[in-house]
């Protein structure tokens, strides 16, 4: 037992989590049973919750500040996918009984840093010790102008399919961390992409403000699988040209060395980029935005990926499933 | 690996969780990245989140429907403590990789039953497999008339202290389940109290509607510890007369057999009764309510418990702390 090594539950909360709720009256200093939240007038509440557990969503020896920030960011990415503006979050943690105070301090420091970056504050939650693995659940609250929210089910036949940033970096970063991939130039950036997603909050709001995106989600299970979700929800098929996939220089190097990696880039998870559809006639409005058109929707069902030679690829796994 | 034994993640969600979101447009059939929630006009959002993990908050072989209902109810109890009316909830689950479909079915059936009982609906969440222990996190959303919310920090000097229902049953029930206590008449009811809390939702709203309660919380860490929370937040001391503690017939039997159990009743957790303060002059308004006055607040700090002979009790542990 390491009980003597660190403060108790209430002290940990007071020392590391209460400061994260400072300045927000409705958080009631995390000392009450629930938080009171006022929505900006005329806006609609948007809520999402994601759970992360050691060995599945992060590695046990990932730095604690990165684990904290990833947990927060995957939730902010879900808000982004709806074009919502983040407001606040709640955090529940099951810390292993052996957790050290320094680890909790690093974890809270990561949250503090991202609270500033994304203008959100901790409004409540729960801390417990577990004989099991580190498990975190975050509920993120945001707001959206009614009618401006982005959905998965509203893509139209003949829409273009676009994606932000670059795809596949996080999957390569994870493969590097797990030793499944030889060292690469630009490794660090790939590992960063795995550990620290960049939720596309402002891009999504920009697209929604002018009604440019017809449907959207964030790429968490892998591009092919997530595009499948849009297709299924919208009752459409999609064709993607793998040759158009936006790749980072490091991913491009990896792919040149090992062309078989293309499938991993298409199906790897953890990108947290914005995948969306738009009317073909409005393609010009993408100019200047960090997005790439990779395909289009059509009548039918399912996702077809064409390789750079124009041949349909047979993807062995279409994306990450937990079971 | 038991992957072949049960459906995958998306099938489990479709089969067992999507029906729990039926009929609520903003839940978007759990198929989108986040949920859209409309508050009743003129009311304020109240949010709370609690995490439950196997071996800490429930026992591994507790029935799955009870585990689900307890996870929901402890959150509804937090809403009750603020006098909020429940609206919806989000659920994140880390299921052990070995979980069987029948277990998940029982778990979802428990949620369905309580959704009906408490008029709430599932609006979102996340399901994952973990190499660790079953861990659940629920975020409950409710609403309150602004200004009518109950707090911990607003007790007044000279207030009476009252508690709903009976105290200590859940602690005895847990002791029975763990074999730390000899069989008792009424065992089953004690075990039920441990497994299935009864959130005091309507009582709290009744007290708040007429401004009778000055401060409140729900008893989860144990009566003595939770009263300590009110005292600390309100800057007051409290005296409780143990002889006035409302006990169930089974708890009374246990106490007669073993007087030392009094401390366990005062410090055991999981009661989920409402503990509140009220002006001494309004005691008469409690008539007909399932509540018992057990003490009063005074200047100072800390909680003093007098035994039935009027002697100050020295409590070895004041309540449950996770670390």
**What pLDDT does A303 receive?**
96
Round to whole Å and give the CA distance between A167 and B161.
59
Q: Are B37 and A56 a contacting pair at CB < 8 A?
A: no
The answer to whether residue A322 scores a pLDDT higher than 70 is no
**What pLDDT does A11 receive?**
85
Round to whole Å and give the CA distance between A86 and A142.
4
Please list every residue in chain A whose beta carbon sits closer than 8 Å to the beta carbon of residue B46: 34-37
The answer to whether residue B321 scores a pLDDT higher than 70 is no
Please list every residue in chain A whose beta carbon sits closer than 8 Å to the beta carbon of residue B87: none
- Asked if A120 and A140 count as a contact pair (C-beta separation under 8 A), the reply is yes
**What pLDDT does A319 receive?**
58
Residue % of chain B over a pLDDT of 70:
96
- Token pair, residue A181, equals 């991939």
A25 or B212, which is more confident: B212
The answer to whether residue A194 scores a pLDDT higher than 50 is yes
**What pLDDT does B40 receive?**
87
Give how far the C-alpha of residue B82 lies from the chain's centroid of Cα atoms, to the nearest Å: 12
Which of A48-52, B28-32, B36-40 is the most confident on average? A48-52
B40 or B142, which is more confident: B142
- Asked if B107 and B62 count as a contact pair (C-beta separation under 8 A), the reply is no
Average pLDDT value for residue range B295-307: 96
Handedness of CA A77, A82, A86, A90 (dihedral sign): negative
- Comparing alpha-carbon positions, the chain A residue that sits nearest to B54 is A130
Does residue A50 belong to the interface with chain B, where contact is any CB pair within 8 Å?
yes
Average pLDDT value for residue range A139-146: 95
- The stretches of A53-100 forming alpha helices (DSSP H) are 64-81
Identify the helix (H) or strand (E) that includes residue A123: strand A121-130
Does residue B32 belong to the interface with chain A, where contact is any CB pair within 8 Å?
yes
Round to whole Å and give the CA distance between B189 and B248.
9
Does residue A259 belong to the interface with chain B, where contact is any CB pair within 8 Å?
no
β-pairing verdict for B85-96 and A302-306: unpaired
Q: Choose the closest CB to B132 out of A7, A133, A144.
A: A133
> How many CB contacts within 8 angstroms connect chain A with chain B?
230
Does residue B7 belong to the interface with chain A, where contact is any CB pair within 8 Å?
yes
The answer to whether residue A320 scores a pLDDT higher than 80 is no
Round to whole Å and give the CA distance between B168 and B264.
7
Does residue B306 belong to the interface with chain A, where contact is any CB pair within 8 Å?
no
Average pLDDT value for residue range A133-157: 95
What crossing angle do the helices spanning A187-195 and A249-257 adopt, rounded to 10°? 110
Least confident of A8-17, A186-195, B199-208: A8-17
Q: Choose the closest CB to A135 out of B46, B129, B135.
A: B135
Average model confidence (pLDDT) across chain A:
92
| Contacts of residue B309, Cβ cutoff 8 Å, sequence gap at least 6 | none
pLDDT-based confidence at residue B9 (cuts at 50, 70, 90): confident
**What pLDDT does A1 receive?**
29
Round to whole Å and give the CA distance between B273 and A287.
59
- Comparing alpha-carbon positions, the chain A residue that sits nearest to B152 is A32
Round to whole Å and give the CA distance between A164 and A291.
4
**What pLDDT does A4 receive?**
39
Round to whole Å and give the CA distance between A126 and B52.
9
SS3 for B23?
Answer: coil
Q: Are A46 and B34 a contacting pair at CB < 8 A?
A: yes
Matching residue, tokens 């995106």:
A213
| Contacts of residue B180, Cβ cutoff 8 Å, sequence gap at least 6 | none
**What pLDDT does B185 receive?**
84
Average pLDDT value for residue range A63-88: 96
B164 or B132, which is more confident: B164
Most B CBs within 10 Å: which of A10, A126, A217, A318, as the mutation test of the B interface?
A: A126
**What pLDDT does A184 receive?**
85
The answer to whether residue A76 scores a pLDDT higher than 60 is yes
Q: Are A323 and B133 a contacting pair at CB < 8 A?
A: no
Give how far the C-alpha of residue A8 lies from the chain's centroid of Cα atoms, to the nearest Å: 32
**What pLDDT does B27 receive?**
87
A59 or A20, which is more confident: A20
Average pLDDT value for residue range B170-180: 91
Q: B293 pairs with which residues across the strands? A: B162
**What pLDDT does A317 receive?**
63
What is the Cβ-side half-sphere exposure of residue A214, based on CA atoms within 13 angstroms? 23
- Asked if A103 and A137 count as a contact pair (C-beta separation under 8 A), the reply is no
pLDDT-based confidence at residue A147 (cuts at 50, 70, 90): very high
Q: Are A82 and B32 a contacting pair at CB < 8 A?
A: yes
How far does the CA of residue B51 sit from the closest CA of chain A (Å)? 6
Matching residue, tokens 């590097």:
A176
β-pairing verdict for A85-96 and A160-164: unpaired
- Comparing alpha-carbon positions, the chain A residue that sits nearest to B151 is A32
pTM here is: 0.91
Most B CBs within 10 Å: which of A32, A46, A98, A197, as the mutation test of the B interface?
A: A32
Does residue B234 belong to the interface with chain A, where contact is any CB pair within 8 Å?
no
Average pLDDT value for residue range A160-167: 98
Q: Choose the closest CB to B34 out of A79, A95, A132.
A: A79
Most B CBs within 10 Å: which of A12, A34, A71, A133, as the mutation test of the B interface?
A: A34
Where in A29-101 does DSSP place strands (E)?
35-37, 44-53, 85-96
**What pLDDT does B314 receive?**
85
SS3 for B310?
Answer: coil
**Which of residues 75 through 114 in chain B touch A, CB cutoff 8 A?**
78-79, 81-82, 84, 90-95, 97
Burial annotation B14-51 (CB, 10 A radius, 16+ → b, else e): eebbbebbeebebbbbbbbbbbbbebeeebbbbbbbbb
How far does the CA of residue A249 sit from the closest CA of chain B (Å)? 30
pLDDT digits (tens, 9 = 90+) for B52-69: 999 888 888 889 999 999
Phi first, then psi: give them for residue A241, nearest 5 degrees.
Answer: -95, 110
Round to whole Å and give the CA distance between B119 and B69.
13
Round to whole Å and give the CA distance between B165 and A203.
53
Does residue B205 belong to the interface with chain A, where contact is any CB pair within 8 Å?
no
Round to whole Å and give the CA distance between B256 and A302.
69
DSSP label of B147? T
Q: Which of B24, B43, B7, B222 is nearest to B122 (CA)?
A: B24
| Contacts of residue B240, Cβ cutoff 8 Å, sequence gap at least 6 | B161, B223, B224, B227, B266, B294, B295, B303, B304, B305, B306
Least confident of A140-144, A237-241, A313-317, B158-162: A313-317
pLDDT-based confidence at residue A6 (cuts at 50, 70, 90): low
The ipTM of this complex is 0.90
Phi first, then psi: give them for residue B269, nearest 5 degrees.
Answer: -95, -170
Round to whole Å and give the CA distance between B81 and B204.
7
Q: B15 pairs with which residues across the strands? A: none
SS3 for A196?
Answer: coil
């Amino acid at each position: 037992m390491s009980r003597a090594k660190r403060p108790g539950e209430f002290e940990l909360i007071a020392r590391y989590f209460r400061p994260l709720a400072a300045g927000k009256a409705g958080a009631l200093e995390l000392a009450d049973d629930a938080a009171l939240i006022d929505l900006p007038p005329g806006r609609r509440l948007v809520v999402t919750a994601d759970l992360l557990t050691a060995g599945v969503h992060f590695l046990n020896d990932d730095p604690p500040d990165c684990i904290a920030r990833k947990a927060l960011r995957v939730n902010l990415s879900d808000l982004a996918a709806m074009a919502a503006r983040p407001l606040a979050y709640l955090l529940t943690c099951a810390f292993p009984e052996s957790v050290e105070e320094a680890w909790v301090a690093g974890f809270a420091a990561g949250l503090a840093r991202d609270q500033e970056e994304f203008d959100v504050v901790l409004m409540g939650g729960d801390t417990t010790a577990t004989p099991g693995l580190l498990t975190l659940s975050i509920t993120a609250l945001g707001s959206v102008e009614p009618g401006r929210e982005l959905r998965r089910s509203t893509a139209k036949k003949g829409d273009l399919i676009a994606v932000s940033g670059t795809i596949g970096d996080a999957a390569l970063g994870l493969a590097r961390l797990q030793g499944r991939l030889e060292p690469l130039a630009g490794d660090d950036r790939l590992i960063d992409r795995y550990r620290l997603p960049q939720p596309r909050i402002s891009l999504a709001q920009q697209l929604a403000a002018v009604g440019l995106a017809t449907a959207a989600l964030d790429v968490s299970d892998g591009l092919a699988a997530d595009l499948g979700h849009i297709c299924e929800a919208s009752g459409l098929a999609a064709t993607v040209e793998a040759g158009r996939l936006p790749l980072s220089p490091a991913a491009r190097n990896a792919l040149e060395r090992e062309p078989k990696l293309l499938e991993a880039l298409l199906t790897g998870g953890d990108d947290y980029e914005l995948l969306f559809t738009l009317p073909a006639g409005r393609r010009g409005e993408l100019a200047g935005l960090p997005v790439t058109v990779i395909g289009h929707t059509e009548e039918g069902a399912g996702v077809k990926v064409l390789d750079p030679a124009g041949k349909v690829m047979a993807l062995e796994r279409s994306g990450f499933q937990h079971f």
